């Protein structure tokens, strides 16, 4: 049996199954093409502090229903599940993570767990409406990116990553929901995350957005890669202290929002008809996820 790839997903849309568990499957699919994957799902927004203390002390700690007192029962709780993806086994396990936000301790926990990648999903919550658990989530993204662990922040994850690195995040008066082209600058045009040709004008990536918070400044430790018509700080890459690029990115858009999942989300009442209509244009999220998977798998090799 080959090596099992281990991925931590900060699972913040768990209550919306198509964009939560379904979105997680879209993220994992290209990684699973290379072999078996173990996905460690952390839900700091629902987890008890006690479970976080156990995780810090013991490392890999599976959680039960009693460890998530804030669980949203729009989606039933389960501890783990197994499925076949791209012909390989993928195991999803719910585990605890430290919530304290102390970078030194968080880094120690990451080293114990030994993930090959860390991904933070979107969320119905907002960085501009700060909640205590976000300190732990921000520390996890800040530490993983600086440690060179392939890291991807999606929508809220992008905002939390940028905020954790010193950027400003501001709330707009209304939602931005739709599919728009991403204008890559010279850094973005040569960046490996956007190595596949996009379907927009001149090969620009086309991306799906659904957010109200906006990152408004670029962290000093990041490169701006691209902007959208409605959103300037749309894609960034983290750099180390010497200005060298690290395998860590934040993207304001949703590469995991496959069209079939969008349609099912509408059928289940998770998005409005207006949102469904705004999401009808095809986008290039698959290419972005394939590129991130390639980074993850190259790092393992």
Six-digit token pair at 250? 């934040």
Backbone torsions φ then ψ of 273, nearest 5 degrees: -65, -35
- 196: which 2 tokens? 């596949």
128-138 tens-digit pLDDT: 999 999 999 99
Give the CATH fold of the 5-300 domain: Rossmann fold (3.40.50)
Q: Say yes or no to pLDDT of 238 above 60.
A: yes
pLDDT in tens, 14-73: 987 666 788 899 999 999 999 999 999 999 999 999 999 999 999 999 999 999 999 988
Task: Find out whether 144 and 114 touch, Cβ atoms under 8 Å.
Answer: no
Flag whether pLDDT at 218 surpasses 50. Answer: yes
- Give burial (CB, 10 Å; 0-12/13-18/19+) of 73: exposed
- Asked if pLDDT for residue 1 goes beyond 50, the answer is no
| Mean pLDDT, the chain, whole residue set | 92
| Greater model confidence, 178 or 145 | 145
Residue 261 has pLDDT above 70, yes or no: no
Ranges of each domain in the chain: 5-300
pLDDT above 60 for 265: no
Angstrom distance (rounded) from CA 245 to CA 223: 8
Do residues 216 and 233 touch, judged by C-beta distance below 8 A?
yes
In the structure, how many helices (H) and strands (E) does the chain have?
9, 11
**Distance from C-alpha of 233 to C-alpha of 231, rounded to nearest angstrom:** 6
Q: Which of 51, 181, 193 is nearest to 119 (CA)?
A: 193
Q: What is the pLDDT of residue 69?
A: 96
Q: Which pLDDT band, with edges at 50, 70 and 90, does 202 fall under?
A: confident
Q: Is 90 exceeded by the pLDDT of residue 6?
A: yes
């Amino acid at each position: 049996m080959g090596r099992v790839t281990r991925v931590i997903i900060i699972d913040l849309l768990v209550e919306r199954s198509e964009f939560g568990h379904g979105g997680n499957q879209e993220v994992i699919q290209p990684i699973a093409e290379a072999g078996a994957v173990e996905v460690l799902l952390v839900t700091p927004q629902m987890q008890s502090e006690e479970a976080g203390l156990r995780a810090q002390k013991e490392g890999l700690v599976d959680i039960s229903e009693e460890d998530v007192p804030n669980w949203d029962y729009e989606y039933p709780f389960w501890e783990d599940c197994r499925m076949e993806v791209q012909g390989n086994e993928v195991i999803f396990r719910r585990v605890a993570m430290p919530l304290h936000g102390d970078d030194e301790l968080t880094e120690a926990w990451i080293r114990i767990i030994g993930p090959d990648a860390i991904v933070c999903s979107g969320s119905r919550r907002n960085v501009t409406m700060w909640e205590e658990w976000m300190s732990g989530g921000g520390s996890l993204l800040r530490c993983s990116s600086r440690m060179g662990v392939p890291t991807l922040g999606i929508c809220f994850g992008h905002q939390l990553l940028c905020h954790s690195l010193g950027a400003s995040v501001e709330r707009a008066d209304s939602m931005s929901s739709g599919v728009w082209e991403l204008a890559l600058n010279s850094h973005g045009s040569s960046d490996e995350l956007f190595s596949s040709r996009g379907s927009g004008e001149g090969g620009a990536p086309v991306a799906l957005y659904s957010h109200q918070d906006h990152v408004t400044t670029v962290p000093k430790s990041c490169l701006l890669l691209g902007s959208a018509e409605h959103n300037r700080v749309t894609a960034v890459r983290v750099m180390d202290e010497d200005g060298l690029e690290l395998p860590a990115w934040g993207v304001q858009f949703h590469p995991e929002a496959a069209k079939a999942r969008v349609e099912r989300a509408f059928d289940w009442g998770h998005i409005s008809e207006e949102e469904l209509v705004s999401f009808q244009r095809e986008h290039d999220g698959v290419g972005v996820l394939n590129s991130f998977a390639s980074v993850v798998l190259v790092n393992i090799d």
